């Protein structure tokens, strides 16, 4: 499915963005001439790997590369470059590193004074300059923290910004790799990074032309489009004679909170559920290392450049092994046929086909091993889990059955993320959410199983809108003033209208297929195949309906989704527009949604490019909230 993009339309080479990002990185390195150590925020490392190779860093005098940690780096260069997220904590680490270095330097100098010249050991080099590169921009909070730590002025520490823009993970997937965006924006209410997203979007449109039609909806989307429109005049006055982007959609993750809670059932989604895919790379355990001579964890890049993976990534997991076995037999048949070739034919076969066939065989072997490992690791109650999830969405499962299953999950001490996903899904799919009595009963069991520290996690889940609790019953019970205040605060923080509107949204957008409708999971034509035909991802359906029937067809649905709407260019003949559609999802997109977007591209003849703050899943979403609480 992923390979269809290049055949549909030319003119949008997303890999140009990687080249531009690499040039920007080189410019940053040149801001600090001479030898230097590079200390990188852990959340940026995989992202930077996609921008440049280690050789590029060495060419620009980077001696050693360290991960940013509280423990100071052991480098010996007089110059240091820190590449960090634009948060005050990064500056605190840098100040601690500098203080630690200066203390060790003083100790070495004292030791040196007590020794003769011939006893001198190599001693630490004084730091002459520190360049702090803030990604994506220098924020006021960082400048304040720098001053508070006593590092402002004096010439030792200077600030520089680096906005790499979107980095392509595939022909149809662009990322900013901002793993904490959902928590920062929707839990903490900090939308400051939206300016960087708007800047990245501006760069994208500067390359490929301004969009002819735009739809933006959501709180983060509003902040992004505000930043983007400030810069948009630069695009209109540019040299572009041909504008290649027909539609631009900017939507928030909280337009559909149900999708990430459901278990992903496509092959790529299943890999993400079990192993986690970060910046297009999956780290596999030792037993799945394709190199038998290296018994260690292996990092595999997953994209359409691997033709075998490209052919199965979007398929329902249940059918993947069968496809791989058929491909293996086809390759073996071709190899057998080569034995009957003439010497000239054999020479051509060895020169052009053999290496490719061998690479495909290796890929098939790897993915069959992954399929087998996922199947073995799948819980024995997986069918019950899916039946419960899909039944909650469709209304086929009674809330009492789901609560019993949740209690069983807590009793078996399943991972926190699994329990939270089910609890949130249960609350979101009930028209009035959980009653206070149900909430306290269920969460007491979860806290007993996972720890009392997650009381704050539950509070944050309510704040962001993932956990819907009706507080009406609370007034019937005697409470302390503190408890009343806490409950009232939680109640005020959530958008009750959003939860009550979810069932209405499913009807407006037809997210739940008719029970009589047959959904082919292995040769799909319906977007809901990614969830066994139980549910169509709302963001994909919004885009689908808008492309097919126009903006007016989703106007009622947009009223049920938090945030404001911005749009332009929706009059005129849609058939005259370029066939490129860019969908920007602020807060993360799942691999199930990516598979549905690829199917939508095939159905409509459009090239759909998904841009996002990062790929996500229910586990990633829950862990980001739990770890930050």
Mean pLDDT of 233-246: 66
Would you place residue 35 in the very low, low, confident or very high pLDDT band (cuts 50, 70, 90)? very high
| Contacts for 552-561: CB closer than 8 Å, 24+ residues apart | 554/508, 554/509, 556/508, 557/505, 557/508, 557/509, 558/217, 560/497, 560/498, 560/501, 560/502, 560/504, 560/505, 560/508, 561/217, 561/218, 561/254, 561/255, 561/498, 561/501, 561/505
SS3 242: coil
Is 80 exceeded by the pLDDT of residue 259? yes
Q: Which tokens in the block code for residue 352?
A: 């052009």
Q: Are 160 and 63 in contact (CB under 8 A)?
A: no
Tens-place pLDDT, residues 292-310 = 566 567 889 999 999 999 9
**Interval 189-215: pLDDT, tens:** 999 889 999 999 999 998 998 999 999
Domain 167-256+517-628 and domain 267-377 have a common topology: no
Q: Is the pLDDT of residue 597 over 60?
A: yes
Q: Say yes or no: domain 382-499 is CATH 1.25.40.850.
A: yes
User: CA-CA distance, 304 to 536, in Å (whole number)?
Assistant: 24
CB 132 within 8 A of CB 91: yes
Residue 336: band (very low, low, confident or very high) from pLDDT cuts 50, 70, 90: confident
pLDDT at residue number 355: 87
* 458 contacts: CB under 8 Å, gap ≥ 6: 443, 446, 447, 467
State both tokens at 532.
């066994």
Is the per-residue pLDDT at 472 higher than 70? Answer: no
Domain ranges of the chain: 31-161, 167-256+517-628, 267-377, 382-499
Query: Residue 183: its pLDDT value, please?
Result: 94
CA distance 85 to 428: 33
Residue 97 and residue 73 in contact, taking contact as beta carbons nearer than 8 Å: yes
* Nearest one of 244, 219, 214 to 561, comparing CA atoms: 219
Q: Are 265 and 592 in contact (CB under 8 A)?
A: yes
CATH number of 267-377: 3.90.830.10
Give the start-end residues of each E strand in 104-222.
129-135, 157-161, 167-170, 173-175, 213-217
DSSP strand pairing (281-284 vs 167-170) = unpaired
Question: Distance between CA atoms of 387 and 396, rounded to whole angstroms?
Answer: 9
pLDDT > 70? residue 252: yes
Mean pLDDT of 317-339: 93
Confidence of residue 65 (pLDDT cuts 50, 70, 90): very high
What's the pLDDT band for 76 if we cut at 50, 70, 90?
Answer: confident
**pLDDT, tens digit (0-9, with 9 covering 90-100), for 262-284:** 999 999 999 999 999 999 999 99
Q: CA 9 to CA 145: how far, in whole Å?
A: 48
pLDDT value, residue 11: 66
Of 170-174, 249-253, 433-437, where does mean pLDDT reach its minimum? 433-437
Specify the pLDDT at position 247: 96
Supply the pLDDT for residue 490. Answer: 45
Residues 433-454 pLDDT 10s: 999 999 999 999 999 999 999 9
Pick from 84-93, 162-171, 294-303, 336-345: least confident: 294-303
Query: What's the distance, CA 186 to chain centroid?
Result: 15
Model confidence at 47, pLDDT cuts 50, 70, 90, reads: confident
Say which residue, 484 or 28, is predicted with more confidence.
Answer: 28
Angle between helices 399-411 and 382-394 (to 10 degrees): 150
Query: Can you name the CATH fold of 31-161?
Result: Rossmann fold (3.40.50)
Options 3.40.50.1000, 3.40.50.2300, 3.40.50.150, 3.40.50.1910; CATH of 167-256+517-628: 3.40.50.1910
Q: What is the pLDDT of residue 8?
A: 42
Per-residue confidence (pLDDT) for residue 344, from 0 to 100: 87
Summary mean pLDDT of the chain = 88
> pLDDT by residue (tens digit) across 99-127?
888 887 777 767 766 665 545 555 567 88
Residue 238 reports pLDDT greater than 70: no
pLDDT computed for residue 347 by the predictor: 86
The confidence score (pLDDT) of residue 113 equals 65
The pLDDT tens digits for 603-620 are: 999 999 999 999 999 999
User: What's the pLDDT score for residue 9?
Assistant: 45
* pLDDT per position as a tens digit, 474-522: 434 445 554 454 455 444 444 444 455 788 999 999 999 998 889 999 9
pLDDT at 537 over 90: yes
d(CA 345, CA 605): 39
The DSSP H or E segment spanning 491 is: helix 481-493
Strand order in the sheet with 173-175: 167-170, 173-175, 607-612, 580-586, 245-252, 213-217, 565-568
This prediction's pTM: 0.89
Using the predicted structure, report yes or no on whether residue 386 has a pLDDT greater than 70. Answer: yes
């Amino acid at each position: 499915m992923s390979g269809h993009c290049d055949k549909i339309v030319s003119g949008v080479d997303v890999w140009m963005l990687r080249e531009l990002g690499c040039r920007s990185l080189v410019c940053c390195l040149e801001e600090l001439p001479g030898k230097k150590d590079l200390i990188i925020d852990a959340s940026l490392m995989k992202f930077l790997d996609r921008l440049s190779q280690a050789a590029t860093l060495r060419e620009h005098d980077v001696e050693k590369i360290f991960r940013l940690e509280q423990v100071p780096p052991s480098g010996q260069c007089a110059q240091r470059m820190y590449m960090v997220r634009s948060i005050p904590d990064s500056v605190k680490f840098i100040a601690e590193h500098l203080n630690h270095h200066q203390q060790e330097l003083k100790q070495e100098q004292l030791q040196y004074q007590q020794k003769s010249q011939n006893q001198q050991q190599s001693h630490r080099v004084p730091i002459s300059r520190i360049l702090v590169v803030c990604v994506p921009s220098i924020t006021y909070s960082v400048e304040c923290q720098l001053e508070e730590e006593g590092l402002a002025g004096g010439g030792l520490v200077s600030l520089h910004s680096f906005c790499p823009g979107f980095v392509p993970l595939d022909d149809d997937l662009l990322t900013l790799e901002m793993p904490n965006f959902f928590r920062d924006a929707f839990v903490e209410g900090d939308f400051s990074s939206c300016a960087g997203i708007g800047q990245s979007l501006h760069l994208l449109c500067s390359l490929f032309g301004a969009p002819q039609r735009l739809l933006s909806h959501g709180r983060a989307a509003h902040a992004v489009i505000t930043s983007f429109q400030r810069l948009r005049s630069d695009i209109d006055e540019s040299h572009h004679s041909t504008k290649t982007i027909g539609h631009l959609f900017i939507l928030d993750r909280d337009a559909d909170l149900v999708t990430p809670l459901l278990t992903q059932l496509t092959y790529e989604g299943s890999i993400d559920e079990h192993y986690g895919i970060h910046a297009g790379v999956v780290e596999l355990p030792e037993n799945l290392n394709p190199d038998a001579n290296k018994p260690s964890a292996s990092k595999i890049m997953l994209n359409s450049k691997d033709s075998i993976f490209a052919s199965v990534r979007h398929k329902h997991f249940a059918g993947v092994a069968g496809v791989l076995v058929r491909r293996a037999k086809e390759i073996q048949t071709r190899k057998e046929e080569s034995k009957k070739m003439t010497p000239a034919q054999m020479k051509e076969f060895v020169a052009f086909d053999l290496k490719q066939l061998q690479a495909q065989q290796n890929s098939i072997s790897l993915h069959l091993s992954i399929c087998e490992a996922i199947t073995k690791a799948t819980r024995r109650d997986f069918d019950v889990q899916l039946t419960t999830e899909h039944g909650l969405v469709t209304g086929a499962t009674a809330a009492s059955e789901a609560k019993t299953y949740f209690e069983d999950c807590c009793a078996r001490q399943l991972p926190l993320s699994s329990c939270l996903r089910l609890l949130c899904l249960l609350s979101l799919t009930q028209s009035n959410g959980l009653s206070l009595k149900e909430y306290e009963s269920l969460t007491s069991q979860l806290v007993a199983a996972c720890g009392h520290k997650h009381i704050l996690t539950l509070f944050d889940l309510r704040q962001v809108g993932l956990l819907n609790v009706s507080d009406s019953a609370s007034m019937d019970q005697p409470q302390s003033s503190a408890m009343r205040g806490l409950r009232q605060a939680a109640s005020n923080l959530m958008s009750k209208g959003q939860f009550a509107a979810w069932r209405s949204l499913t009807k407006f957008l037809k997210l739940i297929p008719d029970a009589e409708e047959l959904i082919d999971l292995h040769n799909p034509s319906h977007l809901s195949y990614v969830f066994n035909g139980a549910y169509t991802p709302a963001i994909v359906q919004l885009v689908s309906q808008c492309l097919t029937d126009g903006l007016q067809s989703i106007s009622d649905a947009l009223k049920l989704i938090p945030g404001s709407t911005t749009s332009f260019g929706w009059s005129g003949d849609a058939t005259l527009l370029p066939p490129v559609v860019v969908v920007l999802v602020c807060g993360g997109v799942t691999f199930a949604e990516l598979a549905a977007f690829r199917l939508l591209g095939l159905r409509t003849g459009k090239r759909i490019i998904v841009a996002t703050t990062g790929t996500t899943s229910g586990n990633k979403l829950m862990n980001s909230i739990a770890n930050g609480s």
